Structure 1
Amino acid sequence: MDVAIVTVGDELLAGDTENTNATWLARQLAERGATVTRMLTIPDDRALIARWVGEFADAFDAVIVTGGLGDTPDDVTVAAVADAFDRDLEVQPDVRERIAEKARQFREADPEYYEQHDFDLDLDETAALPAGARPIQTEESFNPGCVVENVYVFPGFPGELKVMFDSVADEFGGDAVSDAVETATPEGALKDVLDGARERFDVAVGSYPARRGEPGRVKVTGTDPAEVERAIEWVDERVADPE
């Protein structure tokens, strides 16, 4: 399963917010055997989001879009995904009712906040999703996520993202398996080993330099566990053991 990840937000590109969502999602997908083939960060630009979501939806098995869900003017992700599939936005009654109930609960829990901030929620705007989308709603999130064909739209808040992803995690999977060899061999001296493993085995091979006192690693990934094991053994015989 080849997956593309699109993270949306001006704050990510400005460096104001660390893009931990992309790293977390990639790790979750890899653990399930999926392969992340593209990772893209783009601003809160409706046309740009629509363009890349449309292209990636055609090119990959699944696309995950995170960020830009909300009720502020720069939250345009849902509308952009609708544009990517040439769909209108529509309000599903069940989604609207759930948002209204959450708003009521928040209001009862903190009435002073609502009074001080003159909170006036447009339920139709908050509940609007691309026509035909499958909504994803959790207790942690206010704005709904959704699935449109092979595109999954999640919020940008890490806590909300993780819970929402977990609710559909079983829909992601694949045959990719990985293993790694720790080594003291400098990354610059690994070229022959990396090239040799790629030539001899049907696997992808990558090197990760040592950092913070930890040894370097050579990582082997493939779809045949036995082939990955053979490649790992071959690599392990040709690199220096970590001290």
Structure 2
Amino acid sequence: MTTAARRHQGRTALVTGGSRGIGRAISHRLAREGALVAVHYGHDATAAERTVKEIEADGGRAFPVHAELGVPGDADTLWAAFDRALAERDDAPAGLDILVNNAGITLPRPLARVTEADYDRVFAINTKAPFFIIQRGLDRLRDGGRVINISSVVTRIAYPPLVSYAMTKAALDHLTLTLAQELGPRGITVNAVAPGYTETEINPTLAVPEIRRRYSEASTFGRLGDPVDIADVVSFVASDEARWVTGQWIDASGGAHLGV
């Protein structure tokens, strides 16, 4: 077995929104490479349990963590659940090595149709929750750890149908930059990985053939991204090979909109 194949051996990871889509692929990849993975979910316990069982069937280690995000006290609820679950295991020390802030929602509406309730909800889940998850998690994150925020390619282009969503991710990008500076003395790297149009259930518009075709053509490779494409990048950024990479916004969009 190659070194890369077990690059996360002995590490503990938490992946928010880790039971479906990109988060599920990340959970699988980190576990396959040796990490004990906390698979966070907000509502779908069945999906979380299925992801954990799949990981275990593949020879990995994982456990579910439940906390609804976007509500008061969500970060404290998440960390309390994480601490309880970790304490019940005999195969990992207390603490965390890899935090992947992946959980998020979209808001496919132009500015004129966004309500205050819409705005508050998308920011609560996509921006406020990761901010306080990181804040509350710093005493658990071991020196030399990794924080990876899942951003979006829409922060580098103008895309009016997703203006509110893009704003949440742009805020997360700045948080990434600032935290990289703050946590560097502890050997902790902080980076953002930015997918483009990816084949997940978070984007209901993919069911529309014309939109699906247009999104595929936006990539220089002429296809939609696969969640595994993103998981591969996250695994590298979480690894020791990326120890000299921090404060970066890493485009994992398959070259979407390079010519625009």
Query: Which of structures 1 and 2 has the bigger CA Rg?
Result: 1
TM-score interval w.r.t. the shorter chain?
A: 0.3 to 0.5
Q: So what's the TM-score if we normalise by structure 2? A: 0.36
Higher strand share: 1
Higher helix share: 2
